[in-house]
Amino acid sequence: MARLPRLFVPGMPQLLLQRGNDRLRLFDDEADHERYLSDLREAARESSVSLHAYVLMPDHVHLLVTAADEGGSGAMMQRLGRRYVRYFNDRHRRSGTLWEGRYRSTVVEPTAWLLACYRYLELNPVRAGLVSDPVHYGWSSCGHHLGVGQDPLIADHPLYWSLGNTPFERQATYRRMLDAGSPRQELEAIRYAAHRGWMLGEPPASRSGTPPPNRRSQPLPKGRPRRTEDVGNGS
Sketch the domain layout of the chain as residue ranges: 14-202
With pLDDT > 90 as the criterion, what percentage of the chain qualifies?
A: 74
Rounded to the nearest 10 degrees, what angle do helices 167-180 and 110-122 cross at? 70
Amino acid at position 97, single letter: T
Q: Could you write out the three-class secondary structure of 76-122?
A: HHHHHHHHHHHHHHHHHCCCCCCECCCCEEEEECHHHHHHHHHHHHH
Taking domain 14-202, whether its CATH number is 3.40.50.720 is answered by no
Residues 6+ apart with CB under 8 A from 149: 143
Determine contact, residues 74/6, Cβ cutoff 8 Å.
yes
Confidence of residue 204 (pLDDT cuts 50, 70, 90): low
Average pLDDT over residues 194-215: 66
Transcribe 152-187 into DSSP letters: TTB---HHHHTT-SSHHHHHHHHHHHHHH---HHHH
Looking only at the bridges linking them, the beta strands covering 49-56 and 14-19 are: unpaired
Q: Which amino acid is at 217?
A: S
Please report the pLDDT score of residue 14 as a whole number. Answer: 96
* pLDDT band at residue 218 using 50, 70 and 90 as cut-offs: low
d(CA 186, CA 127): 14
- 110-143: burial string, b at 16+ Cβ within 10 Å, e else: beebbbbbbbbbbbbbbeeeeeeebbebebbbbb
Range 102-119 average pLDDT: 94
**Average pLDDT of span 66-89:** 95
User: Residue range 181-191: average pLDDT?
Assistant: 94
